[in-house]
Amino acid sequence: MANNVDLSPEANMGGGPIDFKYSKGYNARILVEMKRSSGTVVHGYEKQLEIYKDASRTNHGIFVVINYGDIGNKLTSIQRIRADRIKAGKPASDIVVIDATPKLSASKRH
C-alpha cells in the first residue's frame, strides 16, 4: 500500500467479491467488475456492480467486458442503462470493452 494506494483483487465488499478494488485512502474507491461477453453482462452492469458499489459506499465503478465476438446486443443494453442513469442524474459506471476476438497471426496476413 505504497503512497496510501491499495489495489485488491477479489476484494469482498460485503455484497460478494468484486474483481478489483482500487483505493487511495478511505474516501477514494473505484470498483472494477469484469465479465466475458458470453456471460451475464447486463445483470453484471445493472445489478451486480451496483450492489458492490452500495456495499462499499462508493459511486465509482468501471465495468469491463471482454468481447470474444459473442456480445450480441448486450453492449447496446448496458450503454442504454448507463445513458438512462446519466439522464436521471444518477451515478453511472464507465464501460470499457476489450476486443478479444480471434485475429490472424502477423505471419498469415497478406
> How much is the pLDDT for 32?
87
* pLDDT tens per residue, range 2-17: 555 555 656 665 555 6
> How much is the pLDDT for 30?
82
- Quote the Cα angle for 59-63-65, to 5°: 175
Cα-only R_g, the chain: 16
> How much is the pLDDT for 110?
60
* pLDDT tens per residue, range 21-49: 656 666 677 888 999 999 999 999 999 99
- In angstroms, rounded to a whole number, what is the distance separating the alpha carbons of residues 99 and 77? 18
pLDDT at 19 over 70: no
pTM of the model: 0.79
* pLDDT tens per residue, range 96-107: 999 999 888 877
Where b means 16+ CB within 10 Å and e means fewer, 42-78 reads bebbbebbbebbeebebebbbbbbbbeeebeebbeeb
17-21, 71-75, 98-102 — which is least confidently predicted? 17-21
Reduced to 3 states, what is the DSSP secondary structure of residue 59?
coil
DSSP 45: I
CB atoms within 10 A of CB 92: 18
